[in-house]
């Protein structure tokens, strides 16, 4: 069989252009130099230093998609997508990516999209500067997929809301300075009775109840929060009272795209690492990558990763153009998370016993990838959404 040598050079893939590719190189250099070498240490410490937010902010990475007036770079979601993909590709830590992305991709966007000018000055500006860290609190001990059934209450009393309840599985929940928090503002709650309030960690009655131990994402903090009669000034209401469901839906699209793009970056890293290992490792007198079984396995991994990337970039294009894309985003989330998990597991198999050891970062990739089909809306919920968009 004739071997066709491929130079590896690729034309720039839409929706990205030259400018994005330059940013990609800058981000990749930064992540390889200032994040990747520390990942093992941060995973063991169960957190990355808070200082990393400041450093990323200094380089402009926390505000890529926000206007310059708030300290951002005045870019678009495409610039942010480059950051998210390269953070996963060059960093190799789901936890570091989760901690940074929860701040930039799920906690700050609602403030930018729904906040008043005064609220933007209070939380978005210091957030972009890496001075205040944000988290998004929707999930509760008794309500995950069924978002509308949250039980945390916010009862209006004069100029304030009195908040009681609990949130769990909150990324950055332990270190967050502010929490964009979903609360019930009517007796019935549900779609027409949820509002968002910004809670601040120093408010009396706001308690970090636990830092949760988990399977992967070790360098990110995942918190359980408890609220006992927390008095939240009415001026901390984000958007309209009882209009919170709109905010949740608006946020989910970008969150799910971010998870899809992160998986695309993680898959690229896994395949590069696996090809290098398969060419280096010898068994029975040959590099293992020269065995047809392994060569075919890697070819299938590359095929699945490329298909997932094409789907994700297309959903990103639709989102960027402001078109309806709930179906395409849900398909990307469903496709990329399972594919990334499968590819991580196959990479581990090809690495043999070394894959099971900490040294290569492959076992971490498997553990980190397992969250994908759960977080940000489970696979089953993605299928429900896709089915509903098809009239089922
Ligand atoms: C590490 C980590 C970080 C997270 N970060 C955040 C965060 O920052 N902020 C936040 O608000 N949340 C966060 N979450 C929560 C996450 O979004 C939820 O875990 C997720 O939405 C699923 O909710 P649940 O865990 O309560 O599962 P459940 O909703 O209890 O679901 C359990 C199982 O039932 C299935 N199921 C439920 N309903 C249906 C249905 N209608 N049809 C078929 N199957 C169904 C689910 O798919 C799942 O398999 C995080 C979770 C983790 C693990």
Nearest CA to ligand 1 atom 16: 375
Give Cα 274 to chain centroid, integer Å. 24
User: In terms of DSSP H, where are the helices of 243-286?
Assistant: 244-280
Q: Closest ligand 1 atom to the C-alpha of 102? A: 8
* 368 pLDDT higher than 90: yes
Q: What is the pLDDT of residue 8?
A: 64
Query: How far away, in angstroms, is 249 Cα from ligand 1 center?
Result: 15
* 1 pLDDT higher than 70: no
Q: What is the pLDDT of residue 9?
A: 66
Q: What residues contact 106, with CB distance under 8 A and at least 6 apart?
A: 136, 171, 251, 254, 255, 258
User: In terms of DSSP H, where are the helices of the chain?
Assistant: 18-34, 39-45, 51-58, 77-91, 94-101, 108-114, 117-119, 125-128, 244-280, 292-320, 326-350, 352-356, 362-369, 379-389
- From the candidates 86, 255, 304, 363, which is the catalytic residue? 255
For the Cβ of 152 lying below 6 angstroms from any atom of ligand 1, the answer is no
The DSSP bridge partners found for residue 182 are 196
The structure's pTM equals 0.97
Which residue among 46, 107, 136, 144 has the greatest number of ligand 1 atoms within 8 angstroms of its CB, and so is best to mutate?
Answer: 144
Classify 247 as helix, strand or coil: helix
Q: pLDDT tens for residues 193-216?
A: 999 999 999 999 999 999 999 999
* 4 pLDDT higher than 80: no
Residue from 325, 332, 330 nearest 310 by CA? 332
Whether 41 is catalytic: no
Residue from 255, 325, 331, 334 nearest 80 by CA? 255
Which residue among 378, 388, 392 has the greatest number of ligand 1 atoms within 8 angstroms of its CB, and so is best to mutate?
Answer: 378
Q: What is the pLDDT of residue 3?
A: 66
Burial class (CB within 10 angstroms; exposed 0-12, middle 13-18, buried 19+) of 242 = middle
Q: What is the pLDDT of residue 360?
A: 87
The C-alpha atoms of residue 360 and residue 325 are separated, in whole angstroms, by 37
């Amino acid at each position: 069989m004739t071997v066709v040598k491929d130079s590896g050079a690729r034309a720039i893939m839409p929706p990205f252009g030259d400018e994005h590719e330059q940013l990609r190189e800058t981000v990749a250099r930064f992540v390889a130099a200032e994040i990747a070498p520390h990942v093992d240490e941060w995973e063991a410490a169960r957190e990355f230093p808070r200082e990393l937010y400041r450093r990323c902010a200094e380089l402009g990475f926390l505000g890529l998609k926000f206007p310059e007036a708030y300290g951002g770079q005045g870019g678009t979601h495409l610039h942010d997508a480059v950051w998210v993909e390269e953070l996963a590709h060059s960093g190799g830590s789901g936890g570091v990516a989760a901690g940074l992305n929860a701040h930039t991709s799920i906690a700050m966007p609602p403030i930018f999209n729904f906040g008043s000018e005064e609220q933007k000055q209070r939380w978005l500006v210091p957030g972009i500067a890496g001075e205040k860290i944000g988290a998004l609190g929707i999930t509760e001990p008794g309500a995950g997929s069924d978002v509308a059934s949250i039980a945390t209450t916010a009862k209006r009393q004069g100029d304030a809301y009195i908040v009681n309840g609990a949130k769990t599985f909150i990324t950055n929940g332990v270190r967050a300075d502010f929490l964009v928090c979903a609360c019930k503002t009517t007796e019935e709650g549900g779609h027409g009775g949820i509002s968002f309030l910004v809670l601040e960690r120093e408010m009396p009655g706001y308690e970090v109840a636990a830092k949760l131990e988990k399977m992967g994402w070790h360098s990110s903090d995942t918190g359980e929060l408890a609220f006992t009669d927390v008095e939240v000034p009415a001026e901390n209401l984000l958007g309209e009272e009882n209009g919170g469901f709109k905010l949740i839906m608006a946020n989910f699209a970008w969150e799910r795209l971010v998870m899809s793009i992160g998986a695309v970056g993680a898959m690229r890293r896994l395949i590069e690492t696996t090809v290098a290992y398969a060419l280096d490792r010898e068994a029975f007198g040959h590099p293992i990558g020269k065995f047809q079984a392994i060569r075919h396995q890697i070819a299938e991994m590359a095929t699945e990763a490329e298909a997932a990337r094409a789907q994700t970039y297309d959903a990103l294009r639709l989102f960027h153009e402001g078109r309806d894309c709930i179906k395409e985003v849900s398909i990307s989330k469903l496709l990329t998370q399972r594919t990334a998990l499968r590819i991580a597991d196959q990479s581990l198999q090809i690495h043999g016993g070394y894959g099971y050891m900490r040294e290569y970062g492959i076992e971490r990739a498997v553990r980190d990838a397992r969250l994908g089909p759960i977080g940000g809306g489970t696979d089953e919920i993605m299928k429900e959404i896709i089915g509903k968009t098809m009239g089922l």
